[in-house]
Structure 1
Amino acid sequence: MGKFLAILLGVSALAAGVGMYYLQIYGFYDEVALTPGEDVVLMPLGAETPRPIAYADFEAIDADSSPIRYRACFTTKLTPAELSQVFALSDQKDPRNAPPWFDCFDAAALGAALKDGRATAFLSVKNISYGVDRIVAITDEGLGFAWHELNQCGKKAYDGTVVGEACPER
């Protein structure tokens, strides 16, 4: 009876581990439906409403389980130099990792390109979800990437410190 219980416990632990891995890497993600003219937007300097930019080859994933699971890839003929004269820059240099099966989004390569100046990050949408901003990065080769990042209000809200008056209502 002891061997049976040990095997049952081992199989149960293995099944739970495989299940958790699947749910984290594959389970909650959905492809984002293409919405032409609305998928890639940037925040103009001094404005509060984002404007669309020209893009092609758009693909994105998202999950309802977390506001920071959004990742997108696209191409554009606009250069970072052109865009930086009209749209607000972001200081984000460390994009969040995407699941390994979402091939177009390589966070390590994008982070290196952002740090050495081969890519530029822009603010896309402020507070797309409470405390979360959408960031768009464009490389010199015309590749574009988008992800969600916690802003100052989000960092405060999730680490338990007082949010303060500077943050919007939930």
Structure 2
Amino acid sequence: MNGKIVAGTIVIAALLAGLALYYTQEYAYFRAIEPASAEAQIRLQPIAGAVAEPMLVASDFEGVDANSSPLRFRACFVTPMSLAMLTESYVIYERPTPLNAPSWFHCFDAGRIGTDLEAGKAVPFLSQENIAPGVDRVVAVYPDGRAYAWQQLNESADK
């Protein structure tokens, strides 16, 4: 009988710890980004310039971020800027790797975005290099104006 109580206590403690870990990864540190805030301003790195320029965001901006990690930024929006103009004016990002968003942030599907980037259905641009040490912000733009932004590790983080 005594062993059942000990085993039950261990199982319950493990379940509670698992639930706490899930909550902290999915909900605890994330916060919504207000569309009118400075944090919601998406920039792109011009080919012929050193300073990133603001990107036009037409509508439907949704974003999340967290202070716990620079890799937690995600955004979904629509831009009126044409893909032809963007590819002529801004730096294309060489190795985009969209990172998963929390499950409740429905507009950002990293798997679909990654597949579309590999298939050439979307074009990745450098938004800001080293927005945090070793972290770049990347924006993927579709021909219809849909755009997705995230932050990922760059080569300097590998060193």
Normalised TM-score (structure 2): 0.91
Aligned residue-pair number: 156
Q: Report the structure, 1 or 2, having the larger helix content.
A: 2
> Residue 76 of structure 1 corresponds to which residue in structure 2?
79
Q: Choose which of 39, 42, 67 in structure 2 pairs with 1:40.
A: 42
Letter in 2 for 1:70: F
Letter in 2 for 1:18: L
Moved >4 Å (runs of 4+) = none
1:31 aligns with 2:32: yes
- Structure-2 change in CA distance of 1:16 and 1:36 (3 Å): closer
Query: Residues 59-74 of structure 1: matches in 2 within 5 Å?
Result: 59-74=62-77
C-alpha contact (below 8 Å) 2:61/2:75 kept by paired residues:
yes
Letter in 2 for 1:59: E
C-alpha contact (below 8 Å) 1:93/1:115 kept by paired residues:
no
Which ranges in structure 2 are unaligned for 5 or more consecutive residues?
none
C-alpha contact (below 8 Å) 1:37/1:52 kept by paired residues:
no
SS of residue matched to 1:68: helix
Structure 2: distance between partners of 1:46 and 1:79: 19
- Structure-2 change in CA distance of 1:62 and 1:36 (3 Å): closer
> Residue 113 of structure 1 corresponds to which residue in structure 2?
116
Which ranges in structure 1 are unaligned for 5 or more consecutive residues?
157-170
Shift of 1:106: 0.7
1:124 aligns with 2:124: no
Letter in 2 for 1:48: A
> Residue 22 of structure 2 corresponds to which residue in structure 1?
21
